[in-house]
Amino acid sequence: MSKQYRPSGPCLSTLAHAVRAALVLGLCSGAALAQTAAPATPLPRVEITGSAIRQIESETPLPVQVVTREEIEKAGVTTAAELMTRISANVGGLTDGVSINVGGDQRGLNSANLRGIGTSSTLVLLNGRRMANFASPGDDAGVDLNNIPAAAIARVEVLMDGASALYGTDAIGGVINFITRKDFHGIELNAYRGTTDEGGAGKRAGTISAGIGDIGQDGYNLFAVFDWQGTDALRSSQRSFIPELRIPERLGHLLSGFTSPANIRLTSAQRDYLQESGFLLNGRPITNRLINLSIPNCSPPANLYLPAGTGGVDACTYDYMGDTELYPKSNKQNFLSRGVLKLDANNQLYAEVALSRSRTNYVGSSARVTGYIDASRVPALANAGLENVTDDDVPGELELRMRLTEAGNRTSELTSQSQRYVLGLTGTVAGWDYDIGVNHSVNVVKDKDMHGYVLYNELLEGIAAGLINPFGPSGTEGRALLDRIQVNDVVRHSKGTMDSIDFKASRTVLPLAGGDLALAVGGEVRRERTDFTPSALLMSDNINNDAAPEGGKATSDKRHVSAIFGELQAPFTKEWQGQLSARYDRYQQVGGALSPKVGVSYTPVKSVMLRGSAGRGFRAPSMTDLYRPTVYSSTATLPDPVYCATVENNYADCADNWDTRRYSNADLKPERSKQFSLGAVVEAGKHVTASLDYWNIRRTNLISELGDDIILGNLAKYGDLVHRDEDGLIDYIELRKENRGAQVARGLDLMVDVHGVDTGIGRFGGRLTGTYVLKSKVQTGPGDPFVSNLGRFVTDMVVQRWRHTLSFDWERGPLSASLSNTFSSGYDDQNSAINVDDGSVVAANRVSSYSLWDLSGAWAVNKAWKVRAGVQNLADKSPPYSNQAYFFLSGYDPTYTDPRGRRFYASVNYVFK
């Protein structure tokens, strides 16, 4: 999908480093003419991601991949998040599918993650400037890709090299610069419709673009684009691959013990009493504390009798994967306008307005309830004598593990709204090319519990009074009560604001043997502010399945950031060019650091260029790293070694989903990084260009939480983070942001581009961009061993060893077609989930590779009309089976797979100029 521009002879460096397509065509044609005609007029200079210096040709040592508007259209993608899934270096980014959960962190965030080293280390820019980060507090600090006006994108430049020395501290993994159309005049209309083979997840989109004025002739241009798109929900019942995963059979212990009819969780004393009194269930004495009086029926298909599942032999198991959504319903609108006014021959005034709103409904399974009922209200136990068990706190009281199906599925509405206003001045004064701008950017996130969440105290009262039946349908009065206690409240309101003033200026300084020495200087001052407001209802701690954060309260935090940078480009000879840059950032309350970088390129012949760079960087802790409210969550099923030692290491007794409390840390220090790259770009003949780049990143003083599995696996070192009750059982595990450990990532980026091959049946081309990772590992603390997640799912993600995008293009006259493939290699699964019924560990699994083929074709009817149609996931490839236990969705890994299956789309485009 992505590519580097295609060189020809002296245009090699220009294309290899992502000068805009129009300029490249001009350069290449100009170079060809120069061999037979008089010298052409001076070519315009442009700015390239990775350098602050305007230049005609870029021979900088920084590798950049470019995705053009034409490629985006061929792929049939309509959002920035969909586009990023086709970048091979993007690993483990957040998507709508990953966000499917109930009560999870940062729902609604779509993010990029270059090199798999974290969303917080990938800088996303719009026209070279920052946007406010997604406001909802959580582990990831980054721009919500929903706020990028995809319909206005002219191209995307992906700088595949750490660029802290130029752009700032959060560019360790790289920079993604979304560049919008700027000098458009006329009217353009686009309509898009997509459907899926099995139903669900249909998409509708429409775009209106309009522009007036020509900078050269009229002295101004005003451009605006409005984009709307809506996507339908996709339920698990609509996909045949879900039953084919055989989740109840393979992963029954990952399913739920909260069922309808309700399971009963006996105390140890109650179980022993019933065993001694000869109580029989399903014709046999009970063996476990969890029982269900309806076994073996259990009210299928959602509630199953799975002796090897979470419910065990005496209870039922709830298959939530048969009762949830795989892809959310969403509605997204984006508006972008840009105006440019020519002040004189050398200076322009410009303004940008970008507005967006993304509203997504996340629908999970129906609510799980821990309720209580007197045994006398349960006919099968009314005369069992449980009121005589005096060892319990409340004799005769039964704890219920029930599923509140009558209240409906838990549904949250997440709204992310963004505003961005930029006013700037650009031009040339006294030989200096300059750009100065004021940027005001805001992101507001509203997280609303809108259905399926109920008032907990009132629910318990209804159960105790017999109005709500845990074991079957409730009566009219009970259903009316559930309707009255439904929650419809914006429980979390977050706002992030960024205000900044930035400038940069560049000029040539003196002539060198290979050209002019160029200097650039710049700076930035910005203020970041975050406001978090939990609702009064949330803080009352009376919403079932949505707990109030510990010590929760409205918070407002802000800080000031300042930075200066400089850059030198030195063409020492015709063959050698050097680049030196450095940036000093200072963060209020955190401190400052200098980030230097040096690079060099060598062009021994016109068809070969060698390049390399090395630099240092640092990442300041984000506002949520420093000030996020406490978050309640739980672990995957893990053993407690202390408890296990008392029960002969029987995981059936000593493994559980332990409660956790996740804390921020106002005393965090910055991370430090070192990175370098080495590469080559080669033109192998008239039609073939290839590049290979080696990259290496090492981060220290890593800002992270210790994994809960790491803590329980090394209690001698981390036992103070495990808080226990008076009986020695785990009360909760403390997960706190700290500066600890290190991270290493290194690999190879490959690009092969075949272009302009003319035949009797049309012009052909092909392109391969791929990333081969050599190492990806994390050290969780000083002195701890490094743990590799390369080709192996660890804690929360996997880094596949090889990922690529491959495309083949054909065009002849008004007709064109494109066939593309995205591929991710297989890996060793998480293989750690524990069956608490029998103490076994999930069967080891290797996740198979994932390969998707897309096909599209277009017909340019005339200059005004163009029609395109295509098929995505041509072979209807289903996500491969995975036993991962980290994400809410089970049976597959939602971070890189797509549950929508085969999809058909068509679009019509009309342009009037």
Q: What is the pLDDT of residue 277?
A: 92
- Average pLDDT, stretch 374-392? 90
- Average pLDDT, stretch 597-613? 93
Q: What is the pLDDT of residue 137?
A: 80
Write out pLDDT tens, residues 534-561.
999 999 999 999 888 776 678 899 999 9
Whether the Cβ atoms of residue 893 and residue 881 lie closer than 8 Å to each other:
no
| The pLDDT of residue 34 is above 70 | no
- Average pLDDT, stretch 237-246? 95
| The pLDDT of residue 787 is above 50 | yes
- Average pLDDT, stretch 286-301? 93
Q: What is the pLDDT of residue 182?
A: 82
What whole-number distance in Å separates Cα of residue 580 and Cα of residue 568? 5
Residue 834's alpha-carbon distances to 57, 319, 395, 456, 841, in angstroms, are: 58, 17, 32, 30, 5
Write out pLDDT tens, residues 129-149.
999 999 988 777 889 998 888
Q: What is the pLDDT of residue 874?
A: 97
| The pLDDT of residue 749 is above 70 | yes
- % of the chain with per-residue pLDDT over 90: 66
Whether the Cβ atoms of residue 629 and residue 532 lie closer than 8 Å to each other:
yes
Q: What is the pLDDT of residue 45?
A: 53
What whole-number distance in Å separates Cα of residue 264 and Cα of residue 360? 35
Do strands 174-180 and 122-126 pair parallel, antiparallel, or not at all (unpaired)?
A: parallel
| The pLDDT of residue 26 is above 70 | no
Q: Two tokens at 85? A: 């899934």
Write out pLDDT tens, residues 805-817.
999 999 999 999 9
Whether the Cβ atoms of residue 474 and residue 175 lie closer than 8 Å to each other:
no
User: How many residues does the structure list for the chain?
Assistant: 913
Between 470 and 741, residue with greater pLDDT: 470
What whole-number distance in Å separates Cα of residue 415 and Cα of residue 399? 37
Task: Give kind and range of the element (H or E) at residue 224.
Answer: strand 220-231
Q: What is the pLDDT of residue 823?
A: 97
Verify cis geometry, omega within 30 degrees of 0, for the bond prior to 261: yes
Q: Which amino acid is at 317?
A: T
Q: What is the pLDDT of residue 838?
A: 61
Residue 603's alpha-carbon distances to 10, 12, 573, 728, in angstroms, are: 10, 10, 10, 68
Give the global pTM.
0.89
- Average pLDDT, stretch 752-767? 95
Q: What is the pLDDT of residue 46?
A: 53
Q: What is the pLDDT of residue 5?
A: 35
What mean pLDDT, rounded, does the chain reach? Answer: 88
Residue with tokens 């031009």: 427
Q: How confident is the model at residue 588 (pLDDT cuts 50, 70, 90)?
A: very high
- % of the chain with per-residue pLDDT over 70: 91
Beta bridge partners of 416: 358, 445
For 846-863, the DSSP string reads EEPPEEEEEEEEEEE-SS
SS (H, E, C) 247-310: HHHHCHHHCECCECCCEEECCHHHHHHHHHCCCEECCEECCCCEECCCCCCCCCCCEECCCCCC
Residue with tokens 């490959």: 750
Q: How confident is the model at residue 163 (pLDDT cuts 50, 70, 90)?
A: low
| The pLDDT of residue 826 is above 60 | yes
Beta bridge partners of 819: 808, 855
Residue 671's alpha-carbon distances to 589, 706, 861, in angstroms, are: 15, 16, 55
- Average pLDDT, stretch 142-168? 84
Residue with tokens 């918070």: 555
Residues 6+ apart with CB under 8 A from 274: 266, 286, 384, 386
- Average pLDDT, stretch 449-471? 95
Residues 6+ apart with CB under 8 A from 862: none
